[in-house]
């Protein structure tokens, strides 16, 4: 598997059409395009002037589906949130102080992933292509951040394994999407590298599709094995 980070022009806040960036890619049949969520948010105009918000925590709670307040977090380090079925700090809101904007998570990232994928397949006459929108989050009981997917289109999200009777071994199901996202984010970087895209090429165990498969990855809140922990989150009503 090869991961090719793509350096781009500067994407300008608070809103910037980024399809010209995609149109200049050298992309091949069978590639997977990883795109950092930040430039998708800017494309959608999901940017709010910092000086227009009284409290960042109020904005975080407004954006979150569920939250644990800052006062309940060790060191008051963050507001813990669940947003679009993702466990993530601060509802995924980035802060660009130099530009003076908060950057929210994209709206319906799986839909914009589909739009970009279909656009590129048509433009470059491709039969097999997938798009993954990436972000980063922390993992409980581990230092550091790791890349993961907040939306995708164009491939089946799991490698499945079966026992001798043909029954799927659920515990052995491999999450391809987040594995690819983590690898791509490692190459794209987290700060000022100006490489918001990466092409993943020659990946193994990939099955491309024109079906919408994003919902296959979403676990119902109450059915998650971590529900005894997750139930401590308060719903934003």
User: In which order are the strands placed within the sheet that holds 31-36?
Assistant: 2-6, 197-201, 31-36, 129-138, 145-153
Torsions phi, psi for 142 (to 5 deg): -135, 140
| Per-residue pLDDT reduced to its tens digit, 58-102 | 999 999 999 999 999 999 999 999 999 999 999 999 999 999 999
Mean per-residue pLDDT, 156-162: 80
Domain annotation for the chain: domains and CATH numbers: 2-235 (3.30.1330.100)
Q: Cα 67 to the chain's mean position, in Å?
A: 19
Cβ(144)–Cβ(138) below 8 Å: yes
192 pLDDT higher than 60: no
Residue 223 or 164, more confident? 223
Give the integer Cα–Cα distance in Å for 52 and 89: 21
190 pLDDT higher than 80: no
- pTM, 2 dp: 0.94
Cβ(150)–Cβ(109) below 8 Å: yes
Mean per-residue pLDDT, 178-198: 88
Percent over 90 (pLDDT), the chain: 85
Give the integer Cα–Cα distance in Å for 226 and 6: 37
Residue of 46, 140, 36, 31 whose CA lies nearest to 88 = 140
Task: State which H helix or E strand residue 57 sits in.
Answer: helix 56-63
Which residue reads 């939250």 in tokens?
A: 67
168 pLDDT higher than 80: no
Span between the terminal Cα atoms of the chain, in Å:
45
**Helices and strands of the chain, counted as H and E runs:** 6, 14
Average pLDDT, the chain: 93
Residue of 235, 136, 153 whose CA lies nearest to 187 = 136
Q: Is the peptide bond before 224 cis (omega within 30 degrees of 0)?
A: no
């Amino acid at each position: 598997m090869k991961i090719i980070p793509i350096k781009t022009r500067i994407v300008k806040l608070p809103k910037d059409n980024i399809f010209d960036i995609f149109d200049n890619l050298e992309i091949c049949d069978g590639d997977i395009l990883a795109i950092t969520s930040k430039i998708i948010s800017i494309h959608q105009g999901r940017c709010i002037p910092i000086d227009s918000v009284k409290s960042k925590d109020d904005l975080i709670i407004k954006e979150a589906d569920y939250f644990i307040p800052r006062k309940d977090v060790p060191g008051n380090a963050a507001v813990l949130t669940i947003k679009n079925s993702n466990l993530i700090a601060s509802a995924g809101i980035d802060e660009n102080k130099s530009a003076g904007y908060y950057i929210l998570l994209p709206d319906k990232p799986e839909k914009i992933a589909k739009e970009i994928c279909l656009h590129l397949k048509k433009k470059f006459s491709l039969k097999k292509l997938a798009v993954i929108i990436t972000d980063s989050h922390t993992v409980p009981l581990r230092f550091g951040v790791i890349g993961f997917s907040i939306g995708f289109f164009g491939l089946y999200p799991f490698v499945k394994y079966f026992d001798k009777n043909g029954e799927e071994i659920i515990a052995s199901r491999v999450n391809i999407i987040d594995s690819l996202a983590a690898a791509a984010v490692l190459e794209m970087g987290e700060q000022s590298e100006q490489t918001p895209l990466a092409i993943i090429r020659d990946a193994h165990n990939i099955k491309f599709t024109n079906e919408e498969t994003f919902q296959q990855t979403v676990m119902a809140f109450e059915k998650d094995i971590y529900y005894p922990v997750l139930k401590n989150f308060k719903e934003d009503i």
